[in-house]
Amino acid sequence: MIRFVAALLALAVAAGAHAQSPYPDKPIRLVVPFPAGSGTDIVGRLLAHQLTADFGQTVIVDNRPGASTIVGTEIVAKSAPDGYTMVMASNNHAMNPSLFEGKLPFDSIKDFAAVAQVAILPFILVVNPQVPAKTLDELIALAKKGGLTYASTGNGTPPHVAGEMLKRAAKVDITHVPYKGSAAAVQDVVSGQVPMMFINVPSGLSLVTAGKLRALAVGTSKRIAQMPDLPTVAELGYPDFDVSLWMGLLMPAGTPADVIDKMSKATERALADPAVRKKIEEQGAEPAYLAPAAFSKFVVDETKRFGELVKDVGLRVDQ
């Protein structure tokens, strides 16, 4: 009997010690719902490496692409809310509720807890050099004559959203030409098959520098360091225009607030590190930390904004 009681006490002490173990005390899984080598994956791996050094626990990147990021995001939604599983979410997370209305296996808002925004990847509006438009105003004037088209990397992708937002803001009709991925879309704009598109900075910068594309404006609300002389669409007369690919960390709803706070602050420290910032900027992205409350509001606002856009223009995804 004495041995039995002693064993129970030992178990209780062990359980108490485990409950009070500082977070994290085991590896953390970072689900990236994009393929290895993608911009989001690269940023995720840079962050994971820094968090591993900070925590002394391995942060493992798990690539789970598919179904407009739904495959990987669902894994996190259904994981234990203990801080050991998180997802690198992006614009798709805010767009999917409208694009897949009533068909998602989770609630994009209620089933997740915001941890931190990590970075944004700006888009620039480019045209083939043969297009008789050297400014955004000239391009809009050309569009008003009719017959203009724009390329995107597929239905429901950020370049498609950007194109539709420009059409709505400028009150012009430009025909959308979707491609399956960026390579073919960019190739046809460079060759002149399609006159224009919104392209991310890493893909577009070298082509602009080489004279194969002409940049007219930046899609984000602020100018970008890589092209400081290029004006934003907003400053050219469309003040509400702001499109970029954003990336941020989400954990399952119900994750303890202190765990979220610890991960968020570690992310903030990582993004403040000069070496990490430089590597992210080399990918054409910009570190853009937001704390949990601010990032949560941002996701809600983005979901509402994209929902209105989907409804207004009948945006759809490739089936």
* Backbone phi and psi for residue 136, each to the nearest 5 degrees, phi listed first: -65, -40
Q: What is the dihedral of CA 125, 211, 139, 175, to 10 degrees?
A: -60
What integer pLDDT is reported at residue 13 of this predicted model? 45
Token couple for 40 = 């989001």
According to CATH, the topology of domain 25-120+245-313 is D-Maltodextrin-Binding Protein; domain 2 (3.40.190)
In a 13 Å sphere around the CA of 172, the CA atoms on its Cβ side amount to 22
Give this prediction's pTM: 0.81
* Backbone phi and psi for residue 299, each to the nearest 5 degrees, phi listed first: -65, -40
Q: Cα separation of 258 and 302, whole Å?
A: 26
The CATH 3.40.190.150 domain(s) of the chain lie at 25-120+245-313
Q: What is the pLDDT along the chain (319 residues), one digit of tens a residue?
A: 555 544 555 554 444 444 557 999 999 999 999 888 878 898 999 999 999 999 999 999 999 988 888 999 999 999 999 999 999 999 989 999 998 888 999 999 999 999 999 999 999 999 999 999 999 999 999 999 999 999 998 887 888 889 999 999 999 999 999 988 788 999 999 999 999 999 988 888 889 999 999 999 999 989 998 899 999 999 999 998 998 889 999 999 999 999 999 999 999 999 999 999 999 988 888 899 999 999 999 999 999 988 888 887 777 665 4
Q: Cα separation of 4 and 18, whole Å?
A: 21
Architecture of domain 122-236: 3-Layer(aba) Sandwich (3.40)
Of 127, 135, 146, which is closest to residue 197 (Cα–Cα)? 127
Q: CB 112: neighbour CB atoms within 10 A?
A: 26
